[in-house]
Amino acid sequence: MSLFDLSTFRLPRAVSLVFAGGLLLTVAACGWQPLYAPGVTGGASASTALNSIDIPEANNRLGQLIRNNLLSNFKSAGDGGTPLYTLELVPTVTKNDVLVQIDTDVRRVQYQLGVTYKLIDLATRQPVNEGHSFSIVSYTRVASEYANIRAEKNASEKTARAVAEDIRTRLAAFFSAR
């Protein structure tokens, strides 16, 4: 047994409870609150505010994937009622060849989706929050063209889902801080 072997050391139960209680008091004292809890000033919760965001129809498949993921993340059970905000999305896709063989055959592709978003208050027509989110997925190219098309489609779906979750989290944090 070495001098620093703590494998047999155990804290008494009372000490553990005191430590856990102190940790909870420290977290409560710093003003921490759950992201989707009602506002500190008694305002609406972040989930209620997210439910009041309208997202316009997209004019391409990728925009539609992002919009659908956002709608499923924003909307709780039932209709959101009259929208108070609109969310403008500008997606940009970049594909980079990561692994190119000597015979110039591409074996690995990096698919990057970047989305610039702007949350606009419909009452004032002014932006209240804006930002940029991105996601990167790599996929392997093979001899089958069908497999390559499917791999790129999977990459676009994964990046759209990841970007939608990131935007939802950013907007929820924005609303919970208001």
Residue ranges per structural domain of the chain = 37-176
What's the 3-state SS for 53-81?
Answer: EECCCCCCHHHHHHHHHHHHHHCCCCCCC
pLDDT in tens, 96-108: 888 766 666 768 8
pTM of the shown model: 0.73
Please name the residues in contact with 39: beta carbons below 8 A apart, sequence gap of 6 or more. 45, 176, 178
Q: Sorting pLDDT into bands at 50, 70 and 90, what band is 42?
A: very low
Spatial contact of 55 and 63, defined as CB atoms under 8 Å apart: no
**Beta strands of the chain (E only): which ranges?**
53-54, 85-100, 106-121, 126-140
pLDDT in tens, 70-85: 988 887 645 566 888 9
pLDDT at site 34: 59
CATH number for the domain whose boundaries are 37-176: 3.30.160.150
Q: Which amino acid, residue 78?
A: G
